[in-house]
Structure 1
């Protein structure tokens, strides 16, 4: 039975604690919505998600069922236990006002971005922009071609697709429900998501 359920509006941030043994399920309500996500060890935010260590340990370029989410201390933070989408990126990073300007032109600099959302949430927990590290992009489709080039393309997730992770330690989860409208990671139309934390 669900112990918590959160609706995260389009373009908005959220954060919450997931206790060891609990499962956090992220649900893409309407499909093709990137969900930028960070994890920190609850009680010691200096230990946090490491994309490099996670990919190295898995020997895979993507996060999927069975992936162990690894911290910068080499510890398992969470394990992916269910995945109805099959494609989650952890290399392309989070959008920012600066990257929007470089990629899409100076007229996009004012647009809201994931780094803004992350900053809003981590400051609630006593952290700063220095604590924002490379993140997981759940439901974001970033194919890597044989030359090593990466491109953000249309997401594969359908309405109701979900990814579930069981916490192997108490973690703080920080989410930016991505507001990007200049590339297809959100189908050019950011939409709400749901987060369920169950015992």
Structure 2
């Protein structure tokens, strides 16, 4: 049985970061309807390995993140495996929100709004990255866990935000394949027309041993290669 080693509730519209050892599991749980968790991934001890969303999607023939996909680095190395989820769609196309996305909801500042101060995911992610000696150059395409954006059906094939995709209690679990730095923001999805951020609970726990029949290993040949590359890094 898995043992929870760390539990932290990230308020809606806030940011947090955590270092996770290889072999452990990160479970994210939506604590309200419409939650969004913009997520950056970095190999903690290998600066060249960070999440590469285009390669992750292309190698696994997908336009969304779902189990049992592997989230891959620029070098095709597995950073983590999506071991389970209550949802079959997590957005990886739209990126994180920036200040102009938040400005449309009106002016906001800590001096007047205190903890209800509206901040973009970019602002929150940068604040966390600086704690680890990183900065704007380390921002990359993210995964927006709990959010869905799909083609709207117009002639241009535009992406449209799908409201009501996530409910209170929806979850996703990630198994770290390398020692990871995970940076999270709970600001709303950039296409969400509302400012109604929900909290997300992050739990780090032990994970069961991985066998040769692990779903992420057998999902696609590209996934298996990425996991072998991660094992070689750890060796």
Q: TM-score w.r.t. structure 1 length? A: 0.90
Contact kept in structure 1, 2:49 and 2:77, CA below 8 Å: no
Deviation digits for residues 128-167 of structure 1, max 9, x if unmatched? 1111001000011101246532112214111111000111
Tell me the SS of whatever aligns to 2:127. Answer: helix
Contact kept in structure 2, 1:32 and 1:157, CA below 8 Å: yes
- Partner residue in 2 for 1:169: 178
- Decide whether aligned partners of structure 1 residues 39 and 182 sit closer, same or farther in structure 2, where only a CA change above 3 A counts: closer
- 2:58 corresponds to 1:56: yes
- Normalized per residue, the structure richer in helix is 2
Q: CA RMSD in A?
A: 2.1
Deviation digits for residues 151-186 of structure 1, max 9, x if unmatched? 1221411111100011111111000011569824xx
Unaligned 5+ runs, structure 2:
110-117, 207-235
Tell me the SS of whatever aligns to 1:38. Answer: strand
- How far residue 59 of structure 1 moved from its aligned partner, in angstroms, is 0.3
Tell me the SS of whatever aligns to 2:198. Answer: coil
> Number of residue pairs matched?
194
Deviation digits for residues 36-68 of structure 1, max 9, x if unmatched? 000000123332001001101110100001111
- Decide whether aligned partners of structure 1 residues 6 and 143 sit closer, same or farther in structure 2, where only a CA change above 3 A counts: same
Larger Rg: 2
Contact kept in structure 1, 2:95 and 2:190, CA below 8 Å: no
- How far residue 109 of structure 1 moved from its aligned partner, in angstroms, is 8.6
- Partner residue in 2 for 1:25: 27
Alignment counterpart, residue 178 of structure 1, candidates 148, 163, 187: 187
Tell me the SS of whatever aligns to 2:7. Answer: strand
- Partner residue in 1 for 2:148: 141
- Normalized per residue, the structure richer in strand is 1
Contact kept in structure 1, 2:37 and 2:184, CA below 8 Å: yes
Q: TM-score w.r.t. structure 2 length? A: 0.76
- Partner residue in 1 for 2:114: none
> CA–CA distance in 1 between the matches of 2:25 and 2:152?
33
Deviation digits for residues 90-112 of structure 1, max 9, x if unmatched? 010011013445xx48x569741
